Amino acid sequence: MGKIIAIGGSAGSIQVIRQICKELPQSLQASVLIAVHVGAGNRDLLAAILDSGGTLPASTAVAGEPIDEGHIYVAPADHHLVMDGGVLRLGRGPRENMARPAIDPLFRSVGISAGPEAIGVLLSGMLNDGASGLADLKRCGGLTVVQNPRDAVESEMPQTALLASDVDYRAPAKDLAALLIRLVLEGAGPTVAAPSSVALEVAIAMGRPSNSPTIAEIADPVPLSCPGCGGTLSQIRRTPLRFRCQVGHGYTAEALAHEQEGSVDEAVRIALRVMGERIVLMEKMIREALQAGRTAAAATFEERAQEYKRSADVLMDAALKSLSAGS
């Protein structure tokens, strides 16, 4: 079967993937597995683009098909792509870092199945899906490659991967194909036993029922809630810092912070709307009290209206500061 090249990317990665695949030779003694963030409703077009633009045949991955040397396989929309020995599997397990297909499950599975024959490549993208999977692929004895962040359209994904583990190689897009060709020709390193915790996370991506005892094998509960389902999160014991809920949703710390920020913004908007409605209600109650000659009640309602206005000003100030910090 030869070596396995696993490539992951998000925003800004498609052009790089096309360039890499175009330059890979027909004689390549390796298979290429690709996971790119695409929405559930997207059409699977990337494989056809790669198939027509290079010397290697490319296709959208099919569950259960054997992995052929010299072939490119692309994860279909809304499915995790994983390697299981010499065949491909497609999983509808929980999203990781808000994505399915996610890059982490692909990298982990290739690390487990191919060991020192695995080569993981992480390209341009936002947030940091792929960083922990790349670290796990290296734990299994594979080689890791990252696109130079300064060369990437979106530098966050490759940058966080470099911070998360000791990456073997980094290179600009124009040099990645040549680097991969050289790595394929090199001898493989020593075999390393894959950690059981890595295999468990691949099983979760494949849809293994996830519950408290399962998550307890790899993580410890923390006082944080899952943005996806509201359940309790547990902190994964391996680095980099990550979390999973009992349903199996997975988040890096950065992805979790990104999702929480959206929840906070939504909460502020709701609170502002409620405050505005209360101010309108108090103003109506003030007018009614004055018309009835109940001046004491009107004064009380006026005091409450002023309190709501002050609270609304505080919320508005917080919302503006949050907007300013994010821009």
For 60-83, the pLDDT digits (tens) are: 999 999 999 999 999 999 999 999
Contact between residue 19 and residue 174 where contact means Cβ atoms under 8 Å apart: yes
Catalytic residue among 31, 37, 80, 249: 37
Residue 195's nearest CA partner among 266, 135, 240 is: 135
| pLDDT at position 262 | 61
Residue 57: per-residue pLDDT? 98
Secondary structure of 107-162 as H, E, C letters: HHHHHHHHHHHEEEEECCCCCCCCHHHHHHHHHCCCEEEEECHHHCCCCHHHHHHH
To the query of whether residue 220 is one of the catalytic residues in this protein, the response is no
C-alpha to C-alpha distance for 26 and 32, rounded to whole angstroms:
12
Q: Catalytic residue among 13, 31, 109, 129, which? A: 129
Per-residue pLDDT of the chain (327 residues; tens, 9 = 90+): 789 999 999 999 999 999 999 999 999 999 999 999 987 667 789 999 999 999 999 999 999 999 999 999 999 999 999 999 999 999 999 999 999 999 999 999 999 999 999 999 999 999 889 999 999 999 999 999 999 999 999 999 999 999 999 999 999 999 999 999 999 999 999 999 999 999 999 999 999 888 888 999 999 999 999 988 889 999 999 989 999 999 999 999 988 888 877 666 666 777 888 888 989 999 999 999 999 999 999 999 999 999 989 888 887 887 676 656 554
Indicate the SS3 state at residue 297. helix
Phi, psi of 3, rounded to the nearest 5 degrees: -80, 160
Q: What angle do CA 259, 260, 262 make, to 5 degrees?
A: 70
Based on the number of CB atoms within 10 Å of its own CB, is 51 exposed (0-12), middle (13-18) or buried (19 or more)?
Answer: middle
Q: Where in the chain does DSSP place strands (E)?
A: 3-9, 30-36, 58-60, 72-74, 80-84, 87-91, 118-122, 143-147, 169-171, 219-225, 232-236, 242-245, 250-252
Query: Does the annotation count 258 as an active-site position?
Result: no
Cα 293 to Cα 53: distance, rounded to the nearest angstrom: 83
So what's the pLDDT on residue 268? 72
Task: Decide: 29 and 184 in contact? Cβ < 8 Å.
Answer: yes
317: phi > 0 → left, psi -120 to 50 → alpha, else beta; which? alpha
CA separation, residue 256 to residues 136, 216, 274 (Å)? 20, 20, 27
The pLDDT assigned to 319 comes to: 67
What is the reported pLDDT for 171? 98
Distance, in Å, from the CA atom of 173 to the CA atom of 123, rounded to the nearest integer, reads 9
Instruction: With beta carbons less than 8 A apart as the criterion, state whether 158 and 146 touch.
Output: yes
> pLDDT value at position 325?
56
State the Rg of the chain over Cα.
25
Helix (H, G, I), strand (E, B) or coil at 91: strand
Known catalytic membership, residue 129: yes
